[in-house]
Structure 1
Amino acid sequence: MLKPSCLLLAGLMACSTAHAQVFQRELGDFDLKLGTTPSRSMAQGLVKPSAAGSFHGGLDLSHDSGLYVGQYAPSMGITPGKNLEIDSYAGFKQPFDQNLGYEIGMIHYSYPKVETLDSQELFGGLSLLGSRFGAAFSNDPDKQNSTLFADLGGNQPFGIGISMKYTTHQLNSPVSVDGGYVSSFNDWSVKLSRPFMGIDLDLIYSDSNLSGSDCSAYSGRNSQCDGLVTLKAERAFY
């Protein structure tokens, strides 16, 4: 995998690219991509998305055989409150035909500038008629996570994309709460997406099976323990 300095350079190159978010070039049997948006549906955010900072980007190198490697930084750690995160990944992606394919791989999450242990994630998925269905298992420093994901991109009523995610978290050490302990919990989210006048609009509902004082044990993928509705609008300027 590439060193952080190389990734930073690639990210800055991607951020300075005008009129496009992905720069692509063929190198023999290889395909190289530099960009400010993830190039992989599974390997960069489909299973474990991260909040992007103001500066983010990475590179992706794939072979005609289906093998690929890459790095992506959801945050360069430049803006206040954001830490440098580097996601290194490798995998294999192959279509059976135009309507069916599969993908397997692994991601390594690292945070070079903070004292946070690295984590790993194994993932696999199927693409069927334009929709994607995936599963992943990750080993974080404090828990293990098992995730199921569905992106119904092949069927978008009124142009609205629908994706759903369900995760089970098993804590390494039970957390003391009022009236007992929490050793595991589940959380889930549903996202509706639609482009509008060059703006990507997302409506997200997230929740978990914890409530009240039990939420002190929550450390899942959602932004908070209780039910939450989020409206997100994002526009790319390059």
Structure 2
Amino acid sequence: MQQARIGATLTATALSAALMPWQGASAEGPHSVSANIGVVSNYIWRGQSQTDDQAAVQGGLDYAHESGFYAGTWASNVDFGDNTSYELDAYLGFAGNITDELGYDLGAVYYAYPDGRDSDFAELAASLSYRWLTAGIAYTVYGQADGAPGVRNDEALYIQGDLYYHASLDFTLPFDLGLSVYGGYTDFEYNDGGNDYAHWGASISREAGDFGTFSLNYDQVGRDTYDDDPKVWVGWNKEF
């Protein structure tokens, strides 16, 4: 995430979003491994397109242990207007339930752009979920753009000290539909708030058995420094 492309990274539509109370590994054993693949008409992360409003193919691999430990990797094509063509993320964490209705998730994510320049960064994240409400915070602990040649301090984004706050409401609707309403705020370390922004959106999804899960999504950035046009996009995801 260099200064020229604010917000270019993940939610990983797969990670892209609210952390739910941990359900543990399958009843067949303490370990579980799963894979996922998806296609979206626009890869949106924290309100902003990572593909210049074009489609993306995405996928990942996840490991989980019944103790609550999890780890995984996830990838997607991206388009930041330079030579960066793909994103490859790695993450791990520990999640669990404090009570039947209160859950937590503590994790770390490394966002890598192997063919990008000074773009990688890493975050520590924590969230709590209670019934239909999830809220959390992410703190950037490392960013390649910090002190990189040709990048001024007041332009450097996604460096140590950046904060991201988020919350979501998730509901089950009739006809097996799911509704998520969410929002977030990015507080960058540099430029005295000149790059900070809020975003919000909503998603309606439906599982279709062996055909995966389909979604219709809306996202909006609340600052005209960026592309604040409403984004409406569709997605499909299947887990194996």
Q: Please confirm whether the aligned pair reaches a TM-score higher than 0.5, indicating the same fold.
A: yes
- 27, 38, 60: which one pairs with 2:62? 60
Q: Output the CA distance in 1 between the equivalents of 2:230 and 2:48.
A: 17
Structure 1 position 170 matched with structure 2 position 189: yes
Matches within 5 A, 1:221-232: 224-225=226-227, 227-232=228-233
Q: Output the CA distance in 2 between the equivalents of 1:106 and 1:148.
A: 15
Report the equivalent of 2:15.
none
Structure 1 position 150 matched with structure 2 position 167: yes
Asked whether the 8 Å contact 2:47–2:200 carries over to 1, the reply is no
Once the two structures are superposed, what CA deviation does each residue of 1:117-162 show, in whole Å capped at 9, x if it has no partner?
4210110000110321111112432234211111101487996421
Q: Secondary structure at the match of 1:98?
A: coil
Report the CA distance shift for 1:56/1:193 in structure 2 as closer, same or farther (over 3 A). Answer: closer
- TM-score, normalised by the number of residues in structure 1: 0.63
Report the equivalent of 1:218.
none
Asked whether the 8 Å contact 1:152–1:161 carries over to 2, the reply is yes
Higher alpha-carbon Rg: 1
Report the equivalent of 2:31.
30
Q: Output the CA distance in 1 between the equivalents of 2:129 and 2:46.
A: 14
Q: Which one scores higher on RCO, CA 8 angstroms, separation ≥ 6?
A: 2
Report the CA distance shift for 1:61/1:76 in structure 2 as closer, same or farther (over 3 A). Answer: farther
**Which residue identity lines up with residue 33 of structure 1 in the other structure?**
S
Asked whether the 8 Å contact 2:47–2:219 carries over to 1, the reply is no
Q: Secondary structure at the match of 2:100?
A: coil
Q: Which runs of 5 or more structure 2 residues have no equivalent in the other structure?
A: 1-24, 39-43, 146-155, 209-213
Report the equivalent of 1:18.
none
- 194, 198, 215: which one pairs with 1:188? 198
Once the two structures are superposed, what CA deviation does each residue of 1:47-88 show, in whole Å capped at 9, x if it has no partner?
7987476432111111111111111112289xx976121101
Once the two structures are superposed, what CA deviation does each residue of 1:163-209 show, in whole Å capped at 9, x if it has no partner?
111111122xx5xxxxxxx664321111122247975221222122x
Q: CA deviation at 1:229?
A: 1.6
Structure 1 position 204 matched with structure 2 position 219: yes
Q: How many matched pairs?
A: 184
- 106, 109, 112: which one pairs with 1:107? 109
Q: CA RMSD in A?
A: 3.8
Q: Output the CA distance in 2 between the equivalents of 1:204 and 1:109.
A: 22
Q: Which runs of 5 or more structure 1 residues have no equivalent in the other structure?
A: 1-23, 38-44, 175-181, 216-223
